[in-house]
Amino acid sequence: MSARIPDTHAEAWALLPWLANGRLPASDREWVEAHVAHCAECRGELDAQRKVATQISRDTSPDMAGTPGSTGYGSTGNDEQRSFNKLWARIEASEGAAPSASGVAGGFSSRTSRTVRWLAAAVVVQGFGLALFGFNALRDNAGEIVTVAEVPAQRLNAPAVRVVFAPEASMATINTLLTHQELSIVSGPGTSGNFTAELSAKAVASGASADSVAAVLSKDPNVTFAQPVAR
Amino acid sequence: MALKSVEFQSPRAPGASPDASERELLERIARSKDQAAFRTLYGSYYQRLSRLLARMSVRREDIEEVINDTFWVVWTKAGEFRGASQLSTWIIGIAYRRALNALRRAKIRPVSDEPFDEDSISVMSTDAAETDGQWLALGLTRLPVEQRMALELTYTLGHSCEEVAAILDCPVNTVKTRLFRARETLKQVLPALAGMSGEKS
């Protein structure tokens, strides 16, 4: 039995958008094209729909511009990377209790991005810089300087936040940010460049909490992710 | 006003299938929680989801959250994808449902109630395509979100009728009806379109 050949104006009319976008199945395309060939109304509509399609795909109206990515829909790499960093930090936070089970942490070292490597290096240097300026947050009990990579992640003696800095944030900016919030980095970087930073006793005494500091940090353009660490 | 004649290039050539390479990425995510594969898949959807969500009238500040909520599901459910549909329809379908929730939470009515403002169309522009685009942008604001999505998925992302139905979770005939109504509404606000298909066979 041969397939049904609808060849009715109404059915062809309904399928014109997919004739216009090239996604009509061959079984339909044959009879729709045959209908359009002798139907001036459908030819006009097909032409109109092709133009609508062109305009929609080019739409850079105010409602559509300014979406993540500063040039219409074309996202900049920074916007996309910033968004991904937030997501990855969220995934890491949720899987942090069992990182080895996911395989993420173990398999990541060879794939560490340049950004994360830069941040790691920057914060190690920052650790020395802070020490030189009299900060003792990164010193162990014996007074020796400890690089961030050597600090055990579980050593949380005060309220703390987990933070990811923007790739473009300079070391000076990060230093200023940490100083203003009276934060001391105690571990990091994680696999997505996240660091754990503790609040100073003075900040806690003056009413600051991990929640309040995370809220402030998350609004800072130099920070892509910030959340309080559960203790 | 006449719509500038430009040849429409379908966003997807018939038969072309990015699905196979994307499925390979998903398998790597499901099998070994491969972060590089996840980052690549995220990058290949970031722009199209951003655009789609903006078309749905999702607030700019919510778009990133919807995209990340979508890929949170991709990360956690990668192993459950059985391949009954295109991977793109699965991912975009998740984003669509999350976006509807975001619109409900924000109590946004994604259809303009304002009178159609012809004065907002620039009379200074000598670029016909630009003027047509402004008319169309205004016309799209008159469409219910389901019709706007059917147009965007068909014309910008190049999905078939069946794929659009899978994403919007509705029957194929409903998709045809939504597009039919969208086309009729646009003709009421776009005089050039109304004139183009006026010939009778």
With a CB cutoff of 8 Å and minimum separation 6, the contacts of B93 are: B166, B167, B168, B169
Nearest-by-CA chain A residue for B174? A14
What's the whole-number mean pLDDT along residues B125-149?
Answer: 75
The answer, yes or no, to whether the previous bond of A189 is cis (omega within 30 of 0) is yes
Q: Which residue has the tokens 């259809």?
A: B111
Mean pLDDT, chain B, integer: 80
* B196 in Cβ contact with B2 (< 8 Å): no
Q: Is the pLDDT of residue A207 over 70?
A: yes
For this complex, say whether ipTM is above 0.85: no
Percent of chain A with pLDDT over 70: 61
The reply to whether residue A84 touches residue B42, judged by beta carbons under 8 angstroms, is yes
pLDDT at B191: 65
Q: Does B18 touch chain A (CB under 8 A)?
A: no
With CB atoms and an 8 Å threshold, state whether B132 touches A80.
no
> Which residues are CB-contacts of B65 (< 8 A; sequence separation ≥ 6)?
B102
Q: State how far the Cα of B47 lies from the Cα of B50, in Å rounded to an integer.
A: 5
Contact status of B15 with chain A (Cβ, < 8 Å) = no
Q: Which residues of A touch B33 (CB under 8 A)?
A: 102-104, 107
Q: Per-residue confidence at A61, pLDDT binned at 50, 70, 90? A: low
CB-CB neighbors (< 8 A) of B152 in chain A: 56
- Percentage with pLDDT > 90 across chain B: 50
From the CA of A206, how many Å to the nearest CA of chain B?
Answer: 32
Residues of B in contact with A22 (CB under 8 A): 10, 12-14, 158
pLDDT, tens digit, 9 for 90 and up, residues B5-20: 445 555 554 444 577 8
What are the strands, taking DSSP E only, across chain A?
160-165, 183-187, 194-199, 223-228
Question: Looking at residue A77, what is its pLDDT?
Answer: 66
For residues A153-175, average pLDDT = 77
Say yes or no: B116 contacts chain A, CB-CB below 8 A.
no
Please tell me the predicted confidence (pLDDT) of residue A59: 67
CB contact under 8 A, A48 and B54: no
The per-residue pLDDT for range A139-163, each reduced to its tens digit, is: 334 333 333 333 444 557 788 988 8
Given strand A194-199, what is the order of strands in its sheet? A183-187, A194-199, A160-165, A223-228
Q: Which residues of chain A make contact with B142, given a CB cutoff of 8 A? A: none
Answer yes or no: is pLDDT of B47 > 70: yes
Cβ-nearest to A44 among B68, B160, B197: B197
Say whether residue B198 is in contact with chain A using an 8 A CB cutoff.
Answer: yes
B49 neighbors B65 (Cβ within 8 angstroms): no
The average pLDDT across A10-39 equals 93
User: CB distance from A93 to chain B under 8 Å?
Assistant: no
Chain B interface includes A44 (CB < 8 A): yes
A60 contacts chain B (CB < 8 A): yes
Pairing of strands A223-228, A160-165: antiparallel
pTM comes to 0.62
Would you state the pLDDT for residue A167? Answer: 75
pLDDT band at A44 (very low <50, low <70, confident <90, very high): very high
Tell me the average pLDDT across A59-65. Answer: 56
Structure confidence at residue A170 as a pLDDT band (50, 70, 90): confident
pLDDT single digits (tens) B50-73: 999 998 889 888 999 999 999 999
Q: State the SS3 of chain B.
A: CCCCCCCCCCCCCCCCCCHHHHHHHHHHHHHHCCHHHHHHHHHHHHHHHHHHHHHCCCCHHHHHHHHHHHHHHHHHHHHHCCCCCCHHHHHHHHHHHHHHHHHHHCCCCCCCCCCCCHHHCCCCCCCHHHHHHHHHHHHHCCCCHHHHHHHHHHHHCCCCHHHHHHHHCCCHHHHHHHHHHHHHHHHHHCHHHHHHCCCCC
| Average pLDDT value for residue range A171-185 | 82
Q: Residue B132: what pLDDT?
A: 65
Minimum mean pLDDT range among A102-116, A189-203, B25-39? A102-116
